Amino acid sequence: MLTGSALRGLIDALQDAVRAGIPHAAEYSYFPSPMPEMLKARQRAAGYALYTALGIGRRDIDARRAQFARNYAFFGAPVGVVVTIRRDMGKGCFMDLGMSLMAFLLSAEDQGFGATGIGALANYGPCVHDHLNLPEEEMVVCGIAVGVADASAPENQFRTARAELQDYASFRGFDEPA
């Protein structure tokens, strides 16, 4: 976890990397390749909803880039978390890590904080790794911004569309007597 000058230093390093045009270098694939059309449509709808809430037009590329760059400033939160995993862990360990992250996010919420994951942090994993002098066996997976949520902020005023439960879950045996 980082705050104060430690967080500011990482943000500065990330912003320098973005300004320098350093290519993304994530060590794992965040999205499937190729992206199935159904998922691509959901991704577009979520982006459209966010940018509409923020008043950013579809063709306003500069504003969209500036908004995306907020990922690398931990959205202005006073606490930033860098999440890593050992490179030699199996793919199944990402599931365990995901469950730990969800517990962290729910705990932060329970304590009255706002917290959001920052998958984009992995785009500059090597930069984060070098800046924080992380052990070689650690891979940057994501970040988390933690602070007090501004309920009036436009990005906190909308909800992305969700798939219907029957689209991704099935229930069997529930109609049987207990």
> Does the residue 118 lie in any domain?
yes
List the domain range (segments joined by +) for residue 7.
Answer: 2-160
pLDDT for 26 beyond 80: no
- pLDDT band at 109; cut points 50, 70, 90: very high
What digits encode the pLDDT tens for the residues 73-106?
999 999 999 999 999 998 889 999 999 999 999 9
> Does the residue 52 lie in any domain?
yes
pLDDT for 107 beyond 80: yes
Q: What is the reported pLDDT for 29?
A: 83
Q: What is the reported pLDDT for 92?
A: 87
CATH of the domain at 92: 3.40.109.10
What digits encode the pLDDT tens for the residues 55-79?
999 899 999 999 999 999 999 999 9
Q: What is the reported pLDDT for 130?
A: 95
What digits encode the pLDDT tens for the residues 137-165?
999 999 999 999 998 998 888 888 888 99
> Does the residue 169 lie in any domain?
no
- pLDDT band at 7; cut points 50, 70, 90: very high
The model's pTM is 0.89
> Does the residue 177 lie in any domain?
no
> Does the residue 176 lie in any domain?
no
> Does the residue 172 lie in any domain?
no
Give how many domains the chain has, as a whole number.
Answer: 1
Name, in order, each residue with C-beta under 8 angstroms of 128's C-beta and a sequence gap of 6 or more: 10, 13, 14, 82, 121, 134, 140, 143
> Does the residue 78 lie in any domain?
yes
- Say if CB 77 and CB 145 are below 8 A apart: yes
Q: What is the reported pLDDT for 133?
A: 97
What digits encode the pLDDT tens for the residues 110-144?
999 999 999 999 999 999 999 999 999 999 999 99
Average pLDDT, the chain: 93
The CA distance from 140 to 2, in Å, is 15
pLDDT for 33 beyond 90: no
What is the chain's Cα-based Rg? 18
> Does the residue 105 lie in any domain?
yes
